[in-house]
Protein backbone atom coordinates (compact mmCIF):
# COMPACT_ATOMS: atom_id res chain seq x y z
CA UNK A 1 0.00 0.00 0.00
CA UNK A 2 1.34 3.42 -0.87
CA UNK A 3 2.27 5.87 1.87
CA UNK A 4 -0.25 8.39 0.51
CA UNK A 5 -3.04 5.87 0.79
CA UNK A 6 -2.00 4.74 4.27
CA UNK A 7 -1.91 8.34 5.43
CA UNK A 8 -5.38 8.97 3.98
CA UNK A 9 -6.80 5.93 5.70
CA UNK A 10 -5.16 6.76 9.03
CA UNK A 11 -6.36 10.35 8.98
CA UNK A 12 -9.86 9.26 7.99
CA UNK A 13 -10.12 6.81 10.87
CA UNK A 14 -8.82 9.31 13.38
CA UNK A 15 -11.32 11.87 12.13
CA UNK A 16 -14.15 9.42 12.78
CA UNK A 17 -12.77 8.71 16.24
CA UNK A 18 -12.52 12.45 17.01
CA UNK A 19 -16.21 12.84 16.23
CA UNK A 20 -17.01 10.22 18.87
CA UNK A 21 -18.46 7.72 16.44
CA UNK A 22 -17.50 4.03 16.22
CA UNK A 23 -15.17 3.17 13.39
CA UNK A 24 -16.80 2.46 10.05
CA UNK A 25 -13.69 1.58 8.14
CA UNK A 26 -15.53 0.65 4.96
CA UNK A 27 -17.21 4.03 4.51
CA UNK A 28 -13.90 5.79 5.04
CA UNK A 29 -12.03 3.47 2.76
CA UNK A 30 -14.65 3.72 0.06
CA UNK A 31 -14.44 7.51 0.24
CA UNK A 32 -10.68 7.17 -0.21
CA UNK A 33 -11.04 4.69 -3.06
CA UNK A 34 -8.42 5.13 -5.74
CA UNK A 35 -9.00 3.26 -8.99
CA UNK A 36 -6.21 0.84 -9.81
CA UNK A 37 -4.77 0.67 -13.29
CA UNK A 38 -4.72 -2.54 -15.28
CA UNK A 39 -1.70 -4.69 -14.61
CA UNK A 40 0.34 -5.29 -17.74
CA UNK A 41 2.61 -8.22 -18.04
CA UNK A 42 5.48 -7.57 -20.28
CA UNK A 43 7.53 -10.43 -21.51
CA UNK A 44 10.67 -10.13 -23.46
CA UNK A 45 11.90 -13.07 -25.42
CA UNK A 46 15.63 -13.31 -25.56
CA UNK A 47 17.35 -15.14 -28.35
CA UNK A 48 20.90 -15.72 -29.43
CA UNK A 49 22.36 -16.47 -32.85
CA UNK A 50 25.44 -18.56 -33.09
CA UNK A 51 27.51 -17.97 -36.24
CA UNK A 52 30.78 -19.49 -37.23
CA UNK A 53 32.85 -18.78 -40.24
CA UNK A 54 36.03 -20.43 -41.34
CA UNK A 55 38.05 -19.46 -44.29
CA UNK A 56 40.43 -22.08 -45.52
CA UNK A 57 42.63 -21.52 -48.47
CA UNK A 58 44.27 -24.61 -49.83
CA UNK A 59 47.32 -24.04 -51.97
CA UNK A 60 48.97 -26.58 -54.11
CA UNK A 61 52.17 -26.27 -52.24
CA UNK A 62 51.31 -24.68 -48.83
CA UNK A 63 48.47 -23.46 -46.57
CA UNK A 64 48.08 -19.80 -45.70
CA UNK A 65 46.32 -18.88 -42.43
CA UNK A 66 44.52 -15.59 -42.64
CA UNK A 67 44.92 -13.29 -39.61
CA UNK A 68 41.83 -12.77 -37.40
CA UNK A 69 40.18 -9.43 -37.10
CA UNK A 70 40.19 -7.98 -33.60
CA UNK A 71 36.87 -8.55 -31.78
CA UNK A 72 35.06 -5.41 -30.69
CA UNK A 73 34.21 -5.40 -26.98
CA UNK A 74 30.73 -3.98 -26.36
CA UNK A 75 30.58 -1.06 -23.99
CA UNK A 76 29.25 -1.94 -20.51
CA UNK A 77 26.98 0.63 -18.92
CA UNK A 78 27.76 1.47 -15.34
CA UNK A 79 24.14 2.48 -14.74
CA UNK A 80 21.94 -0.48 -13.73
CA UNK A 81 18.58 -0.75 -15.51
CA UNK A 82 15.67 0.84 -13.69
CA UNK A 83 13.16 -1.66 -12.30
CA UNK A 84 9.76 -1.64 -13.94
CA UNK A 85 7.36 0.57 -11.99
CA UNK A 86 4.81 -1.21 -9.84
CA UNK A 87 1.34 -1.09 -11.33
CA UNK A 88 -1.53 -1.95 -9.01
CA UNK A 89 -3.89 -4.54 -10.45
CA UNK A 90 -7.35 -3.47 -11.46
CA UNK A 91 -10.06 -4.42 -8.95
CA UNK A 92 -12.30 -7.27 -10.02
CA UNK A 93 -15.39 -8.81 -8.50
CA UNK A 94 -14.63 -12.04 -6.70
CA UNK A 95 -15.82 -14.02 -3.70
CA UNK A 96 -15.04 -11.95 -0.61
CA UNK A 97 -17.60 -13.68 1.62
CA UNK A 98 -14.71 -15.16 3.58
CA UNK A 99 -15.63 -14.60 7.22
CA UNK A 100 -16.85 -17.82 8.88
CA UNK A 101 -20.01 -18.37 10.88
CA UNK A 102 -19.66 -17.09 14.44
CA UNK A 103 -21.87 -19.74 15.98
CA UNK A 104 -24.06 -17.09 17.63
CA UNK A 105 -27.71 -16.15 17.03
CA UNK A 106 -28.40 -13.45 14.47
CA UNK A 107 -29.55 -9.96 15.42
CA UNK A 108 -33.18 -10.67 14.67
CA UNK A 109 -33.18 -13.41 17.32
CA UNK A 110 -30.95 -11.71 19.89
CA UNK A 111 -30.87 -7.94 19.26
CA UNK A 112 -29.35 -7.50 22.71
CA UNK A 113 -26.12 -9.11 21.48
CA UNK A 114 -25.42 -6.45 18.85
CA UNK A 115 -22.26 -4.54 19.68
CA UNK A 116 -21.32 -6.71 22.65
CA UNK A 117 -18.51 -8.74 21.03
CA UNK A 118 -15.87 -6.91 18.92
CA UNK A 119 -15.11 -10.13 17.08
CA UNK A 120 -18.65 -10.71 15.78
CA UNK A 121 -21.27 -9.05 13.59
CA UNK A 122 -24.74 -10.48 14.15
CA UNK A 123 -25.80 -10.37 10.50
CA UNK A 124 -24.43 -11.43 7.12
CA UNK A 125 -23.75 -9.67 3.80
CA UNK A 126 -22.48 -12.86 2.14
CA UNK A 127 -25.15 -12.71 -0.57
CA UNK A 128 -23.62 -9.42 -1.74
CA UNK A 129 -19.96 -10.10 -0.88
CA UNK A 130 -19.90 -13.27 -2.98
CA UNK A 131 -19.19 -11.10 -6.04
CA UNK A 132 -17.50 -7.91 -4.83
CA UNK A 133 -14.17 -6.10 -5.01
CA UNK A 134 -14.29 -4.79 -1.43
CA UNK A 135 -16.00 -5.75 1.81
CA UNK A 136 -15.67 -4.42 5.33
CA UNK A 137 -17.01 -5.77 8.61
CA UNK A 138 -16.68 -3.86 11.88
CA UNK A 139 -17.94 -4.24 15.43
CA UNK A 140 -17.70 -1.89 18.39
CA UNK A 141 -19.60 -1.00 21.55
CA UNK A 142 -23.31 -1.00 20.70
CA UNK A 143 -22.78 -0.85 16.93
CA UNK A 144 -21.98 -3.23 14.06
CA UNK A 145 -21.57 -2.38 10.38
CA UNK A 146 -20.62 -3.69 6.95
CA UNK A 147 -19.82 -2.26 3.54
CA UNK A 148 -19.88 -4.08 0.19
CA UNK A 149 -18.64 -2.59 -3.08
CA UNK A 150 -19.00 -4.29 -6.47
CA UNK A 151 -18.29 -3.33 -10.06
CA UNK A 152 -19.35 -1.50 -12.05
CA UNK A 153 -21.02 0.96 -9.65
CA UNK A 154 -22.58 -0.58 -6.55
CA UNK A 155 -22.05 0.05 -2.87
CA UNK A 156 -24.10 -0.77 0.17
CA UNK A 157 -23.33 0.12 3.78
CA UNK A 158 -25.45 -1.09 6.66
CA UNK A 159 -25.19 -0.28 10.36
CA UNK A 160 -26.97 -1.96 13.26
CA UNK A 161 -27.35 -0.30 16.66
CA UNK A 162 -29.38 -0.87 19.77
CA UNK A 163 -29.88 2.89 20.04
CA UNK A 164 -31.06 4.96 17.08
CA UNK A 165 -28.76 7.79 18.17
CA UNK A 166 -25.76 5.58 17.39
CA UNK A 167 -26.66 5.23 13.70
CA UNK A 168 -24.49 7.16 11.22
CA UNK A 169 -25.88 10.52 10.05
CA UNK A 170 -27.86 10.69 6.84
CA UNK A 171 -25.29 12.52 4.75
CA UNK A 172 -23.81 11.99 1.30
CA UNK A 173 -21.54 8.98 1.27
CA UNK A 174 -19.18 6.84 -0.84
CA UNK A 175 -17.10 9.82 -1.85
CA UNK A 176 -19.98 11.75 -3.41
CA UNK A 177 -19.94 15.48 -2.73
CA UNK A 178 -22.50 16.78 -0.28
CA UNK A 179 -25.00 18.69 -2.41
CA UNK A 180 -25.76 21.03 0.46
CA UNK A 181 -29.15 22.21 1.56
CA UNK A 182 -31.54 20.37 3.82
CA UNK A 183 -31.79 16.62 4.18
CA UNK A 184 -34.30 15.26 1.64
CA UNK A 185 -37.71 14.54 3.13
CA UNK A 186 -38.37 11.00 4.22
CA UNK A 187 -40.73 8.72 2.32
CA UNK A 188 -42.56 5.96 4.13
CA UNK A 189 -41.69 2.52 2.80
CA UNK A 190 -41.27 -1.02 4.01
CA UNK A 191 -38.36 -3.44 4.38
CA UNK A 192 -39.23 -7.07 4.93
CA UNK A 193 -42.66 -6.17 6.25
CA UNK A 194 -41.28 -3.62 8.72
CA UNK A 195 -41.92 0.15 8.44
CA UNK A 196 -39.03 2.15 7.00
CA UNK A 197 -38.16 5.71 6.05
CA UNK A 198 -36.29 6.36 2.79
CA UNK A 199 -34.44 9.56 1.93
CA UNK A 200 -32.87 9.98 -1.48
CA UNK A 201 -30.45 11.91 -3.58
CA UNK A 202 -30.32 10.83 -7.24
CA UNK A 203 -28.77 7.36 -7.25
CA UNK A 204 -28.17 7.28 -3.48
CA UNK A 205 -30.70 6.12 -0.89
CA UNK A 206 -30.73 6.08 2.91
CA UNK A 207 -33.09 3.56 4.45
CA UNK A 208 -33.81 3.51 8.20
CA UNK A 209 -35.91 0.84 9.87
CA UNK A 210 -36.16 -1.58 12.78
CA UNK A 211 -35.54 -5.19 11.70
CA UNK A 212 -36.92 -6.19 15.10
CA UNK A 213 -38.02 -4.30 18.20
CA UNK A 214 -35.03 -3.06 20.18
CA UNK A 215 -32.77 -2.80 17.13
CA UNK A 216 -32.22 -0.04 14.56
CA UNK A 217 -30.69 -0.31 11.11
CA UNK A 218 -29.62 2.25 8.54
CA UNK A 219 -28.48 1.34 5.04
CA UNK A 220 -26.88 3.58 2.44
CA UNK A 221 -27.30 2.16 -1.06
CA UNK A 222 -26.24 3.15 -4.56
CA UNK A 223 -29.15 2.24 -6.80
CA UNK A 224 -31.19 3.60 -9.67
CA UNK A 225 -34.56 3.47 -7.93
CA UNK A 226 -35.98 3.11 -4.46
CA UNK A 227 -37.30 -0.36 -5.27
CA UNK A 228 -33.82 -1.45 -6.35
CA UNK A 229 -32.32 -0.05 -3.15
CA UNK A 230 -34.82 -1.94 -0.97
CA UNK A 231 -34.20 -5.15 -2.96
CA UNK A 232 -30.46 -4.88 -2.20
CA UNK A 233 -31.13 -4.30 1.50
CA UNK A 234 -33.31 -7.43 1.63
CA UNK A 235 -30.21 -9.49 0.73
CA UNK A 236 -28.68 -8.62 4.12
CA UNK A 237 -29.46 -11.50 6.50
CA UNK A 238 -30.15 -10.74 10.16
CA UNK A 239 -30.64 -14.38 11.14
CA UNK A 240 -26.90 -15.18 10.89
CA UNK A 241 -23.65 -14.04 12.45
CA UNK A 242 -20.09 -13.75 11.14
CA UNK A 243 -16.65 -13.50 12.75
CA UNK A 244 -14.54 -10.38 12.22
CA UNK A 245 -11.20 -12.04 11.58
CA UNK A 246 -7.83 -10.34 11.18
CA UNK A 247 -4.33 -11.61 10.32
CA UNK A 248 -3.03 -10.16 13.60
CA UNK A 249 -4.27 -10.16 17.17
CA UNK A 250 -3.59 -8.71 20.60
CA UNK A 251 -2.48 -11.13 23.32
CA UNK A 252 -1.37 -8.74 26.06
CA UNK A 253 -3.07 -5.60 27.34
CA UNK A 254 -2.24 -2.83 29.80
CA UNK A 255 -4.02 -3.06 33.13
CA UNK A 256 -7.69 -2.17 32.92
CA UNK A 257 -7.86 -2.22 29.12
CA UNK A 258 -9.74 -4.64 26.84
CA UNK A 259 -10.27 -5.08 23.11
CA UNK A 260 -13.37 -3.01 22.35
CA UNK A 261 -13.54 -2.79 18.55
CA UNK A 262 -12.35 -4.64 15.46
CA UNK A 263 -12.69 -4.05 11.73
CA UNK A 264 -11.41 -5.80 8.61
CA UNK A 265 -11.42 -4.76 4.95
CA UNK A 266 -10.84 -7.23 2.11
CA UNK A 267 -10.09 -6.09 -1.44
CA UNK A 268 -9.42 -7.91 -4.69
CA UNK A 269 -6.62 -5.47 -5.66
CA UNK A 270 -4.77 -5.14 -2.36
CA UNK A 271 -1.03 -5.66 -2.15
CA UNK A 272 -1.58 -8.97 -0.38
CA UNK A 273 -5.00 -10.21 -1.56
CA UNK A 274 -7.43 -10.39 0.10
CA UNK A 275 -6.23 -8.45 3.16
CA UNK A 276 -6.13 -4.69 2.78
CA UNK A 277 -6.73 -3.09 6.14
CA UNK A 278 -7.83 -3.81 9.67
CA UNK A 279 -8.05 -2.19 13.08
CA UNK A 280 -8.08 -3.26 16.70
CA UNK A 281 -9.17 -0.70 19.27
CA UNK A 282 -8.36 -1.25 22.92
CA UNK A 283 -9.31 0.87 25.88
CA UNK A 284 -10.91 1.16 29.29
CA UNK A 285 -14.05 3.05 28.32
CA UNK A 286 -12.30 6.42 28.60
CA UNK A 287 -8.81 6.07 27.16
CA UNK A 288 -8.27 4.45 23.76
CA UNK A 289 -5.48 2.95 21.65
CA UNK A 290 -6.21 2.20 17.99
CA UNK A 291 -3.86 -0.16 16.12
CA UNK A 292 -4.16 0.01 12.34
CA UNK A 293 -2.87 -2.87 10.22
CA UNK A 294 -2.13 -2.39 6.51
CA UNK A 295 -1.27 -5.17 4.07
CA UNK A 296 1.99 -4.23 2.37
CA UNK A 297 4.76 -5.62 0.20
CA UNK A 298 7.06 -2.67 0.89
CA UNK A 299 10.22 -3.39 2.86
CA UNK A 300 10.45 -1.80 6.29
CA UNK A 301 13.32 0.66 5.84
CA UNK A 302 12.39 3.03 8.66
CA UNK A 303 14.96 3.47 11.44
CA UNK A 304 14.11 1.35 14.46
CA UNK A 305 14.35 3.07 17.83
CA UNK A 306 12.73 0.60 20.22
CA UNK A 307 12.27 -3.10 20.81
CA UNK A 308 8.84 -4.38 21.84
CA UNK A 309 8.87 -8.09 22.59
CA UNK A 310 10.29 -9.79 19.47
CA UNK A 311 9.64 -6.75 17.25
CA UNK A 312 11.74 -3.78 16.23
CA UNK A 313 9.70 -0.58 16.28
CA UNK A 314 10.07 2.96 15.04
CA UNK A 315 8.72 5.14 17.85
CA UNK A 316 8.62 8.91 18.03
CA UNK A 317 7.32 11.37 20.57
CA UNK A 318 7.02 15.12 20.97
CA UNK A 319 5.57 16.20 24.25
CA UNK A 320 2.19 14.55 24.67
CA UNK A 321 2.10 13.38 21.04
CA UNK A 322 3.60 10.08 19.99
CA UNK A 323 3.53 7.39 17.30
CA UNK A 324 4.69 3.82 16.83
CA UNK A 325 5.28 2.01 13.55
CA UNK A 326 6.39 -1.54 12.79
CA UNK A 327 6.08 -4.17 10.05
CA UNK A 328 5.95 -7.95 10.36
CA UNK A 329 4.88 -10.60 7.84
CA UNK A 330 3.61 -8.04 5.33
CA UNK A 331 1.45 -6.25 7.90
CA UNK A 332 2.38 -2.70 8.85
CA UNK A 333 1.08 -1.71 12.29
CA UNK A 334 0.54 1.97 13.15
CA UNK A 335 -0.67 3.66 16.30
CA UNK A 336 -0.49 7.25 17.50
CA UNK A 337 -1.95 9.81 19.84
CA UNK A 338 -5.69 10.30 19.69
CA UNK A 339 -6.38 13.99 19.13
CA UNK A 340 -9.21 14.11 21.66
CA UNK A 341 -6.78 13.90 24.52
CA UNK A 342 -7.95 10.56 25.87
CA UNK A 343 -5.27 8.33 24.36
CA UNK A 344 -3.30 5.73 26.12
CA UNK A 345 0.43 6.28 26.39
CA UNK A 346 3.24 5.32 24.05
CA UNK A 347 4.52 2.89 26.68
CA UNK A 348 1.10 1.19 26.71
CA UNK A 349 1.12 1.01 22.91
CA UNK A 350 4.54 -0.64 22.96
CA UNK A 351 3.26 -3.08 25.58
CA UNK A 352 0.41 -4.09 23.24
CA UNK A 353 2.76 -4.42 20.26
CA UNK A 354 5.07 -6.66 22.26
CA UNK A 355 2.25 -9.20 22.51
CA UNK A 356 0.99 -9.07 18.92
CA UNK A 357 0.67 -12.33 17.02
CA UNK A 358 0.52 -12.60 13.22
CA UNK A 359 -1.01 -15.21 10.92
CA UNK A 360 1.37 -17.17 8.73
CA UNK A 361 -0.47 -16.25 5.52
CA UNK A 362 -2.45 -13.20 4.47
CA UNK A 363 -4.07 -14.98 1.52
CA UNK A 364 -5.80 -17.62 3.65
CA UNK A 365 -8.41 -16.27 6.05
CA UNK A 366 -8.88 -19.69 7.64
CA UNK A 367 -5.65 -19.10 9.58
CA UNK A 368 -6.61 -15.63 10.80
CA UNK A 369 -7.65 -14.77 14.34
Backbone angle region of 180, left / alpha / beta, with phi > 0 → left and psi within -120 to 50 → alpha = left
Q: Locate all alpha helices (DSSP H) within 45-189, ordered by sequence.
A: 126-129
Residue 37's pLDDT is: 32
Is 100-170+183-243 a domain of CATH 3.40.1000? Answer: yes
pLDDT at 75: 52
CA distance 141 to 146: 15
Question: pLDDT value at position 176?
Answer: 54
What percent of the chain is helix, strand and coil (3-state, nearest 5)?
Answer: 15, 35, 50
Predicted confidence at residue 338, as pLDDT, reads 78
Helices then strands (H, E): number in the chain? 5, 20
How far is 151 from 105, CA to CA, in rounded Å? 31
Q: Average pLDDT of each block of 10 consecutive residues along the chain (369 residues)? A: 43 45 42 34 31 32 42 53 66 96 97 98 98 97 97 95 93 58 83 95 92 97 95 97 98 96 96 94 94 93 93 93 95 88 90 97 95
Q: Which CATH architecture has domain 248-367?
A: 2-Layer Sandwich (3.30)
| Dihedral sign of CA atoms 362, 364, 129, 104 in order | negative
Give the pLDDT score at 339: 67
Q: Where are the domains of the chain?
A: 100-170+183-243, 248-367
Given a contact cutoff of 8 angstroms between Cβ atoms, the answer to whether 212 and 322 are in contact is no
Amino acid sequence: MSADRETLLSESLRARADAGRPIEAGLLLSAALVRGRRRRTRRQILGATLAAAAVVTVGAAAATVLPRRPTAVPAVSSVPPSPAPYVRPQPVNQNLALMPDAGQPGAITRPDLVGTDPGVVHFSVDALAGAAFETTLSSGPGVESAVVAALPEFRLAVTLARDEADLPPETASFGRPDPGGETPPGVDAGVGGRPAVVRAFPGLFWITWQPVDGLWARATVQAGTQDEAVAHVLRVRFDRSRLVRLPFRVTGLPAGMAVRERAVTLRSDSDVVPFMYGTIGVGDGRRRLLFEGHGTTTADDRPHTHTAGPYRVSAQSDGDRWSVDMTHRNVRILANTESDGVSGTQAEALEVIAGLEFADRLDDTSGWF
